[in-house]
Structure 1
Amino acid sequence: MATRTNKPVTGPVTGSVTGAPTVASSVSPAGEAFPLPAPEDYAAEFRRTQQLAEQARAEGKEVVVVMGVGFVGAVMAAIVADTVDKKGRPSKFVIGCQRPSPRSYWKIPLLNRGEAPVKAEDPEVDVLIRRCVNDKKTLIATYNSDCLKLADCVVVDVQCDYTKRELGHMVTGEADMAALEATMRTIGDNIPPKCLVLIETTVAPGTTEFVAWPILKKAFATRGIKSTPLLAHSFERVMP
């Protein structure tokens, strides 16, 4: 029986007889294909993440989860992972979390081998990510959102697109908050009560108070948590 591997393969993933796909995959812009994780892979992936996070915490590091490793999230994750304390020692361990969709999963294995999943004008981005992943060991990526259970702080960098219906008539458009709302529900269902949640995504006025805040409060109430969720909006400060 064939064994499953998370090693990258190049070209399409097809069957040997019919040519039909046998394993769903995610293809990077460079054409490298990565098999999507199967349900049975999740437990082992969380154990891997948990072991690294607990080791980092034992070393005095805070654990930060960055939700979304796109052109903003990947850079922000690296910046946080490069943080040092007053003695020059790494002070943060960062977990970049991305949905394992065919469109986006490829970012995870790329990050885990120290390669930037985004192209930036600043040449330091590639150097920064490579240093944090391969040298400092302060940055990893995962597809398992259970990593939120390990977080001292969560930074939200998921998309919140604005759709314009007509050129020159912005008032006819609307913000698509589906991804943000789904992410906030996942966060509320998993984070420790004292975890700080920072929304860095560019959102419409009132989103933090009237969309994200009620979602977190409802999730905490469902879990029987009586403390108030720690939530703030901190607009993105990195230029991709």
Structure 2
Amino acid sequence: MTKRSTPLLLIGETSNIRDHVAKKLLEEKFETTEIEQMEQGPVSIILFLFDRQSAKLSIYLLQQVHLEKYEMDQLFIFDDKKTNSLADNESFVQSLIKASTNAVELFFSDVHVDSERVGDVVAKHLLHDLIHPSSHQMVKREISLKEKEIVGVVGLGYVGLPVAVGFSEHYPVIGFDVDDGKIAKLKKGEDPSEQFTQESLVATKIDFTTNAKKLRRCAYIIVAVPTPISASKEPDLSYLEAASQLIGENLTPDTIVVYESTVYPGATEEVCSPILEKASNLKVGKDFFIGYSPERINPGDHEHTFRTIPKIVAGQSAFVAETLYQLYQNVIKAPVYKASSIKVAETAKVVENTQRDINIAFMNELAQIFYHLDIPTEDVLAAAGTKWNFLPFSPGLVGGHCIGVDPYYLIHKARLAGYEPSFLTAAREVNESMVDHVTNLVMQQIVHHQTPWDNLKITVLGGTFKENIGDIRNSKALEILKNLLNLGLSVQLCDPHITEGSVQDIYGISNKSFDELEKADIVIAAVPHDVFNWERLKTILKETSTVIDIKSSIPLHYIPKEVTLLRL
């Protein structure tokens, strides 16, 4: 909540703009007043002079106020450069400026556009100067509504690229990444993350670059770099710290830096902001500003996209929050929600994914219980799901860089505060245990069928962390593959989405096409990409094979009768 004791007097006959600005100020808890309601004491005046006729009336109304009775705090003058209404009232306005502690004069070069848009811009500048007043007694700015501010995006992976593409529909965008190879591909319209076609990417006109100096032209810099965990399950902020250092070295006054990367509560202000200050030699909240808008990109999902997913924004002040609200609302069809603080927005993000982690952990524990009880999990969930308030979750592998990582950020912060989050930790342990559970299923089948070790062949279908993308970060399917290889088993992998060579480099085996697969004793359907044609499953099975269908994705009529089928 914004606290301010000095009432704001809005004077102007440009009623639509004035009323819109008044509404915005009230939303941020500023006290506004009318001439007839004024009481003696401090007052700040907002003067609208957008055309000569209304300016004359505004000046006349103000002249009727015996200003000597009041203590003038801040003075804000909004004028149309084309009509320059101030010229007719220069001496009176100058007397107001001298009487005020701080004066801000803004000239609009193209005010005759949509009044709501003008009102939004006026409100944004008002909030800026009310909350972050200049040290100068008089400030003059010229505002052009036709010139669009440049948006910079740092980090062009699964999150940053959709953000850059989304903003490019309404703003000039500079897309920065340190990866020369990635930038070279993007310039040719090739998307390494397989989210955009070449035609759509070329049409964006994004300035893809590895030249960090170009960020100096940006009014907004959005940070979307990875925030993984270390081998000991602790937050790894090295990418975020490096990005903050690079941005700080190229930061110009009045820029708003917006972090979208997932972090623990407090990281933006406690870790990133000091790096920006030190690298730029600028002061946060005075020379530049910070905000947070947690990413909600769902790779491979063409329904829930950057433009259609509701967005959270937060800023270090009401000015920053309102500015980011307007910025994102210009490019997003879904609602934009203003969180009460940066910490609240940071926490909301980790809570979103921690909630999913907990619900899936419940399903995974049930799956392991039902395995021992010889009860089909899928049938139980179908029956339980007939109740109106039963939540539709399913067992499965929890990997990737969101659900399998974000809870550790909240666990880390809780422990720093002296609280041991046993429930969150237990959920993580259950989900992490599913790799060993599937590995044990494989070993049990080998023993049950008494398959000769030398002739045994295992196939893993799908190696990414989720369906229909090529991202193998924190892939639990590949952890299962690694376990089986470490046991000395002969394993083959098929995943059309994984880049050629990446699996070979890590695990020493090739990524085969479906047609290249040898018939296998055990087939693990780990990641059911849409590209897999389950009708052809029988062509990669032996007569007495076992199929482990982790996500229950294979229609039963594609499973030969003599084949053993296991599901979680």
Q: Same fold (TM over 0.5)?
A: yes
Q: In the aligned structure 1, how far is the partner of 2:148 from the partner of 2:242?
A: 28
* Aligned equivalent of 1:185: 245
Assess, with a 3 A threshold, how the Cα gap between structure 1 residues 73 and 226 changes in structure 2: closer, same or farther: closer
Number of the residue aligned with 2:176: 97
Shift in Å at residue 136 of structure 1?
A: 4.8
The one of 179, 189, 213 equivalent to 1:114 is 189
Query: Among 189, 199, 204, which residue is 1:130 paired with?
Result: 199
CA shift at 1:68, angstroms?
Answer: 0.7
List per-residue Cα deviations over 1:190-240 (Å, max 9, x = no partner): 1211111110011122111110111222234x3589934210111002212
* Contact residue 189 and residue 223 of structure 1 kept, 8 A: no
- Residue 106 of structure 1: CA displacement? 1.5
Taking the aligned partners of 2:284 and 2:155, their CA distance within structure 1 comes to 26
Gaps of 5+ in 1: 1-56, 83-90, 120-124, 166-172
Specify the alignment match of 1:49 in structure 2. Answer: none
Structure 1: which amino acid aligns with 2:268? T
Counterpart secondary structure, 1:227: coil
User: More relative contact order in 1 or in 2 (CA 8 Å, sep 6+)?
Assistant: 1
The structure that is helix-richer by fraction is 2
Q: CA deviation at 1:140?
A: 2.2
Compute the displacement of 1:59 (Å).
Answer: 6.8
Q: Does the 8 Å contact 1:193/1:225 carry over to 2?
A: no
Unpaired segments ≥5 residues, structure 2: 1-143, 300-568
SS class of match (1:155): strand
Supply the distance in 1 between the matched residues of 2:151 and 2:192 (Cα, whole angstroms): 19
2:153 maps to what in 1? 66
The offset of 1:164, in angstroms, is 4.5
SS of residue paired to 1:70: coil
Q: Deviations over 1:11-49 (max 9, x none)?
A: xxxxxxxxxxxxxxxxxxxxxxxxxxxxxxxxxxxxxxx
1:237 aligns with 2:296: yes
Give the AA of the match of 1:185: Q
Instruction: Tell me by how many angstroms 1:60 deviates.
Output: 2.3
Counterpart of 1:186, as a letter, is: L
Give 1:96 deviation, angstroms.
1.1
Aligned residue pairs total 156
Question: Structure 2 vs 1, CA of residues 63 and 204 (structure 1 numbering), >3 Å: closer, same or farther?
Answer: same
CA distance 1:110–1:59, change in 2 (3 Å)? farther
Deviation at residue 158 of structure 1 after TM alignment = 1.0
CA contact (8 A) 1:184 1:212 kept: yes
Classify the secondary structure of the residue corresponding to 1:174: coil
1:217–1:228 contact (8 Å) kept in structure 2: no
* Cα shift at 1:113: 1.8
Structure 2: distance between partners of 1:214 and 1:236: 22
TM-score, normalised to structure 1, is: 0.58
| Pairing of 1:73-222 with structure 2 (within 5 A) | 73-82=160-169, 91-99=170-178, 104-119=179-194, 125-127=195-197, 130-131=199-200, 133-137=201-205, 139-165=206-232, 173-220=233-280, 222=281
Shift of 1:112: 1.1
Give the CA RMSD over aligned residues. 2.5
CA distance in 1, matches of 2:283, 2:159: 34
Write the letter of the residue equivalent to 2:202.
N
The CA distance in 2 between the partners of 1:192 and 1:177, in whole Å, is 24
CA contact (8 A) 1:74 1:117 kept: no
> CA 1:219–1:117 in 2, change beyond 3 Å: closer, same or farther?
same
Which amino acid is the alignment partner of residue 230 of structure 1?
Answer: F
Report % sequence identity. 33
Amino acid of the residue matched to residue 61 of structure 1? Answer: K
Distance 1:106 1:214 in 2: 31
Kept in 2: contact 1:61–1:93 (CA 8 A): yes
Q: CA deviation at 1:62?
A: 2.0
When residues 136 and 77 of structure 1 are mapped into structure 2, their CA distance, relative to the original with a 3 A threshold, is closer
Q: How far apart in 1 are the matches of 2:230 and 2:157?
A: 19
